Amino acid sequence: MVLIRRNPDGSIASQEGAPQQPTQSHPALATRMGVQALQDSGRAVPPMMNEIATKINNAKDKPRKLKVLKDHDSIPLRQVLKGAFDPSIEWLLPQGDVPFKRNDAPIGTEHTLLSQEAKRLYLFTKGGDSSLSNTKRETLFIQLLEGLSAEEADFLVTVVNKKINNKYKGFTANLVREAFGWDDKFMKKQ
């Protein structure tokens, strides 16, 4: 039996008698920032998008709001926020409240995360998947909402309705453009 010992940074510690290999960090611990973010949150699940929005809402001034967005920057977050603020993105879903059964399981259990489901949001936008009927599209959206935690599902409904600033004060298109270096068309500046 071989015991593998790890250094505090996640790399494999050298073993006596074993040939020396360059230390390599475990892929799950690839960035110190990622590990620090998990430690700060105190749980194994990364912050959910509604929690990021709440942090922005609670931040006192614009520099703090920008810092929250930059600290949690990810491709899924950018996708969701582009859908929330970009006027060229048209959601093919009815406006207003969505009739779905809330998932009341404790956070971290029996949930999908919006950060994992963001790649499927194209199904619900104009120019996404034109082969879906409106009924099928709405059914898929309800299933997506029912898989998310209740808070994150509510956040996604505000995104689809493009009313994110009504619920989370100070969470504006200008803030998102500045944080991610986007131009007026929500594209990366040249």
In a domain, 121, yes or no: yes
Tens-place pLDDT, residues 59-74? 999 999 999 999 999 9
Nearest residue to 26 (alpha-carbon basis) of 42, 2, 41, 7: 7
Tell me the pLDDT band of 1, cut-offs 50, 70 and 90. Answer: low
Tell me the pLDDT band of 104, cut-offs 50, 70 and 90. Answer: confident
Whether the per-residue pLDDT at 26 is higher than 60: the answer is no
In a domain, 26, yes or no: no
Structurally, the chain folds into a number of domains equal to 1
In a domain, 136, yes or no: yes
147 vs 107, which has greater pLDDT? 147
The mean pLDDT value for 116-127 works out to 91
Residue 107 neighbours by CB distance under 10 Å = 16
Torsion of Cα atoms, 33 then 178 then 180 then 156, to 10°: 100
Q: In terms of residue numbers, what domain contains 105? A: 33-180
pLDDT at 23: 47
